[in-house]
Amino acid sequence: MAERSELVDLRRKIDEIDRQILSLLDRRMALVLQVGKVKKELATEIYDPEREAEIMRALLKQPLCSLSPLEIEELYSAIFRISRWRQGEKTEVGCLLCISILESDAEMVRQKMAVAAKEADIMELRLDALAEIRLSELLPFTERPLIVTNRRREEGGFFRGQEQKRFYYLEEAVKYGVTYVDVEWMSSEPLRSRLLGKRGETHFILSYHDFQKTPPLEKLLSLWKEMIKIEADVYKIVTWAQNLDDSLTILRFLRKVRGDGKKVISHCMGDKGRISRILAPLFGSFMAFCSLEGAKWTAPGQMRVGQMRRVWEVLEG
């Protein structure tokens, strides 16, 4: 029969191991900071998913008795996340801050873009809400990298014309050399393929939006495998949060795919998805979307840019 002294002895051993682990983690972090300085001097990206995946594969091959592979992934995902954070990723929490602009009037769009340029790393211009789309009145005036989106109605957009016309404006945006064009994975395959073939200086975001639910993790991973068969520069999967578990599912999804070497944007929409918008950058999401103070949000649950920055300041300590 176990005695109290046995429990005390076991706890003493655990305490000693914890001190050793902490000392090793502290030494590891000192090396991580040196790596960050070298990367900065070499102008190298902080986030290296291939390196993280290589480390994880090596760790999972270690002969261990008690830790499961899932537990190892959980532990080292946190270590990798903190390491990137300390090395000084973009906006400190590892992603670009994008301000989305959704207006029906071109003059109002220009005004909002001028304000957003002072706050954002990148801006998103939603063409689908404009009463008249005249790219020559908008695209030459941007002061920041720009995403051009012409969202179809099936995925929360407002464009009322034919699909050929919707894609026409995206192709015209490519001619202007905008930084990114967003194209929906569920859109017409011939039109999508033609657009993706007109790369030039423009990069492409291949996107998927579910305004009803967040699919189970297995289905999200299957969707991911299908989407990355199409060559794009960034992959965006956004779902609707009906509860907190949905946000956790998206964070698990991000953790699973971050080792694939692809840039991914993922979070949940809706009020119950706000926590995922806040935490997604810490799990590898490439971009966070916000709206200007007092402006229209472009998706339910979207935070104001000031709110997001204040939250990130807290996370950064």
Catalytic residues: 209, 236
At a CB cut-off of 8 Å and minimum separation 6, what does 89 contact? Answer: 46, 47, 95
Contacts of 262 (CB under 8 A, 6+ apart): 49, 228, 234, 235
Cα-Cα-Cα-Cα torsion 124, 128, 133, 134, nearest 10 degrees, comes to 10
- Is-contact 308 292, C-beta < 8 A? no
Asked if residue 69 lies in contact with residue 289, where contact means CB atoms within 8 angstroms, the answer is: no
**Closest alpha carbon to 200 in 229, 179, 182:** 179
Our measurement of the distance from residue 136's CA atom to the centroid of its chain's CA atoms, rounded to an integer in Å, reads 30
Q: 238, 209 in Cβ contact below 8 A? A: yes
Separation between Cα atoms, residue 98 and residue 288, nearest integer Å: 6
